[in-house]
Structure 1
């Protein structure tokens, strides 16, 4: 039976593994890092340091096994300088030469983000699509927050899922160097 709950600090490593598996074939992740050797380390840096707001990670389990996860940043979330430096250094180690593309990606995200305060969906994924884990994760968190929410979809097949939850495409971003397209989406 599918269960969604707020993740504990102890769940964060499992979330890294789930997200790495969920994004194994993601166009943007493969553009950043063509080989999946260090995907778990990249998601661990994001999960433990850069998108680590307390109470803002969710995990979906089926019979106790993690099957999906989501990382949210609350409005005006920021990390401490120390946490940011640790996260960025671990991200650099994981991404290697892909780090340069990661900087380009973050610049594109920064230019595209709407003004104002909103919840930011930093990552959501389920290694096995079609299980309902993504929908359950979105449903639970969106029911508990006030105000707008924002995300960048790195895969066109996920856009209809987000639209079912009230998100609308506000911009397409084409990444340089024959990179993939992303869709920025806002839910008022």
Structure 2
């Protein structure tokens, strides 16, 4: 695994909220599920930023938003106790999806939620790196920053990958695939769970 110890992680200042979302927009331009939701370039550029704000905006308010290398990479983590994003996004999506697609997407995420433990956990709605900075270790560093804390506090971490190309990255950091979920025309969703590692496990990586 790439040595990322020299990469500094900084918390996103409230005044830089838009900069963080811009990085996520750049990173998710080819994501299968996101581009299913926002299929045209205009829809994606105009509407996806609002979706990120609704779906993961709680990370900013809960001090769970981090960046590296002047926003070359961003992670939006939701600490334990953060309110569910479903209520924040349901109305937004219901207005832009056909009824069948909206119902299928809701069913898919109901199944995702059943994959996760009920106890306290850190959840990762988005982590992304500007394409010109990918393969620089920035994504790994943003994962490690919170996963180290999960190990120290004995807390589970969860995420749902919507791009199969990222599964190996998450697996290298200890996430395990729960199942592959595909309902109707909704692209596959991959819920993943990482159990906290002991000190011995963490130092042997």
* TM-score bin, normalised by smaller chain: 0.7 to 0.9
| TM-score normalised by length of structure 1 | 0.80
1:16-45 CA-partner distances (Å, limit 9, x unpaired): 111111000001111112113243554433
1:108 corresponds to 2:108: yes
Question: How far is 1:174 from its partner?
Answer: 1.3
Question: How far is 1:101 from its partner?
Answer: 3.8
Would you say how many aligned residue pairs link Structure 1 and Structure 2? 178
Question: How far is 1:13 from its partner?
Answer: 0.6
| TM-score normalised by length of structure 2 | 0.74
Match of 1:187 in 2: 194
Q: In structure 1, what is the Cα distance between the partners aligned to 2:80 and 2:175? A: 17
Question: How far is 1:161 from its partner?
Answer: 0.5
Backbone CA RMSD of aligned residues: 2.7
SS at match of 2:75: strand
Question: How far is 1:165 from its partner?
Answer: 0.7
Which has the higher Rg, Structure 1 or Structure 2? 2
Match of 1:153 in 2: 161
Residue number among 77, 85, 88 corresponding to 2:82 in the alignment: 77
Residue number among 126, 131, 139 corresponding to 2:129 in the alignment: 126
Do the aligned partners of 1:68 and 1:133 also contact (CA within 8 Å) in 2? yes
1:166 corresponds to 2:138: no
Do the aligned partners of 2:35 and 2:44 also contact (CA within 8 Å) in 1? no
Question: How far is 1:142 from its partner?
Answer: 1.1
Give the strand-richer structure, 1 or 2: 1
1:36 corresponds to 2:41: yes
1:63-102 CA-partner distances (Å, limit 9, x unpaired): x3x211111112231179xxx66x666x459x83479745
Q: In structure 1, what is the Cα distance between the partners aligned to 2:189 and 2:78? A: 19
SS at match of 1:151: strand
SS at match of 2:96: helix
Match of 1:68 in 2: 73
Q: In structure 1, what is the Cα distance between the partners aligned to 2:29 and 2:177? A: 24
Unaligned stretches of 5+ in structure 2? 1-5, 196-205
SS at match of 1:141: helix
Match of 1:3 in 2: 8
